[in-house]
Chain A
């Protein structure tokens, strides 16, 4: 395997070596020349960042410009990708949004001429918060750049203003493939301190006092878990990182792994030292190729430098990490199923009457935490429990990453202090609902979370509050829905997902979710009958109470929460055979407004049953006796002339 030569053969033995690497990293991140960084996480790439990167690279080569071109992870504002970040000595850092290859090349000329290209800028940064320094790092900005004020400051952009990035502290700031970049922002200094100055018990105490709770969904206190694992009897202990993120529309863990893999490694190293483990596993889904690649690179670099392996930093502590790629089952994210999968068996949960901290992987004490939990650890240990436990609410400390998606103006990855209200998240960070539509509900916690209505928008977001209203924190999905969303259809969508992704072992989960799906499907097709809501509630109760693992126990949440807050919609479907949101095609009547119709023949051509009559210049009409309510005409009409009732 090739190597870039940097740090080749160099083992980090102590503080001086780390400081040297830090200097190296600082010159990489803040060089004395222009540096252009393209956000190349999966969100950036899917928006075309690869092409932007290539165009800029060619431009630099062609003009023989003395510009460094680099890659970074995700800065969170996925909707505005591709994001390009320009560092110029004497200038603020400027983040450009929605870049294209053409704009990339033009930007090079602008930089050459000393311009700012204000109109493409998302924001400018003049300082950075570093958790490992007392003062923020302020860039030296030359005078005479007053027109920069036309570009909003990073901390004044609505999307970023209320965020506090701890787990995401390095995402978008560093090259995830560079260990020097990570060290430059304080990385591995905490590990050094831990191995040289702290006893395992002290770290556990710090973790306990910090109030950190597992970010994978269940919210179990991390320090207590570590303590139980350390105390459990066994010849060998394991630590595991759960990166089997499978919620539709959620990508918190992916972004951390892609953008800052060393933060997870350092967290695991600290945890392993506290617990007394010498072997670790990262279980990551194979559908995350970039996360697997970046984590693989990070492990290799850390091994080369002696930050993983034997006698780490000369302390005598040994620790190795292996990556285990998951095969795509949602249930493999359940801790016992995940361990079964690592052992080579089918990912199927087992009874936890004996906890995994006592008997987990290969029946040995095993401590499993989620990616985000591990990424928080170095900061907590560095800044101390008293710093961390001041952030958040009484029962939920610190911050939480959410992927804010759906019918919202600003979609992206956000990290906010626990206790922020849903209203602040949706209206301040998300800046509201597009097209002037009404907010209807927000679904939190992934597929088995609940839908929370507008009357609860002032709910502070933390583990306990979300559970109280029939939803959950889960791993951090947040899907916003507007008035055009049918809540029965939503319940059906998630129940469909869960009936497919149940492992199928427990009768109550396998057949419970299947039967709930069948009833919901019938309701959306106009075949609902009196008693369906009660039967759904009965099934939901058994699915939750009689099933073994968290998947089954939480699977009814979408059904129960939509019945609880949107019962009238169910009743409209069942009794009046109407879908108030006009989503369920079978319950709609499609007609064409002759005033609005431009007689373009589009719908006529595409109607699969030839139910539409009309000629050019003759408004079209739908024959209701033939119409199968497929909705094609509504989709293709260029002027929205198809009415539904």
Chain B
């Protein structure tokens, strides 16, 4: 392995060290600094959509507000995580997000912590989606199914399967797990699993031993094809497989 180039810099006056080019947010979180964030997750690449993780970075004498999730750290930068401007920006962003996702517990909590009890904007009927893009990234980068994407732009921006046809969705639930506002729901009824937001319902495989449906057949075949597993690899549910 090549030598890692380490850089030293300051966060709120405290000297820290990290590998050059690492993104600032994870470094700051590691050192125990609290920076609110919604569209960042360590499992996927940073995107910088929610704008909540704003910090002030001073580099070569110039200070500016920037998102920390996609800011690569560099020697000698000076980071402030809680200035008046940062708080002012965060408050407005949370107020805007609260109008999009008024039912989200996480947003309500973040807003409350920032001193916002209610939003001045009319509530939007978008099912609590804040367009953070975590579902799209986890589906593409981690699962590899690439079943959903952003659609349209501006205030009409949305996320979903292309042409509203969830043909590539394997109903694995990664998007359900990662969604920060819990706006993607998964339901299982009998031998069917539904990802409600994408309107995807798949039949589940029944375990050849205990008879319980345990995962969508389409998903299992997709994995078998993708990683070249034996055809009977998923005949048993995880419980029965473990007990064998």
A residues whose Cβ falls under 8 Å from a Cβ of B: 329, 331, 346, 348, 351, 353-354, 499-508, 510-515, 518, 535, 538-539, 541-542, 545-548
Contacts and interface: CB of A to CB of B under 8 A. Distances in A.
A538 B92 contact: yes
Given A499-B154, A518-B122, A506 B70 contact: no
Contacts of B154: 499-504, 510, 513-514
A504 B96 contact: no
A350 B115 CA distance: 31
B93 A542 contact: yes
A501 B66 CA distance: 22
B48 A504 contact: no
B54 A546 contact: yes
B153 A501 contact: yes
8 contacts: A351-B66, A502-B153, A507-B50, A507-B97, A508-B92, A511-B96, A511-B100, A511-B155
B89 A504 contact: no
B96 A353 contact: no
A351 B54 CA distance: 13
Contacts of B49: 505-507
A546 B51 contact: yes
Given A329-B153, A351-B67, A535 B120 contact: yes
A372 B70 CA distance: 33
Nearest to A531: B120
A619 to B, nearest CB: 44
B116 interface: no
Q: Which 7 A-B pairs have the closest CB atoms?
A: A504-B157, A511-B96, A542-B92, A514-B155, A500-B154, A502-B154, A546-B51
Given A504-B131, A546-B54, A546-B89, A512 B96 contact: yes
Contacts of B96: 507-508, 511-512, 515
Interface of B: 47-52, 54, 65-67, 70-72, 85, 88-89, 92-93, 96-97, 99-100, 120-122, 130-131, 133, 149-150, 152-157
Nearest to A347: B153
Nearest to B65: A545
A149 B106 CA distance: 79
A510 to B, nearest CB: 6
B63 to A, nearest CB: 12
A351 B57 CA distance: 14
A511 B121 CA distance: 10
A504 B150 contact: yes
B48 to A, nearest CB: 6
Given A353-B70, A511-B96, A518-B122, A506 B51 contact: yes
Contacts of B48: 351, 505-506, 548
Given A353-B72, A542-B88, 5 more contacts: A331-B153, A346-B149, A353-B70, A501-B153, A508-B51
Contacts of A354: 72
A515 B133 CA distance: 21
A538 B91 CA distance: 11
A301 B70 CA distance: 45
A508 B153 contact: no
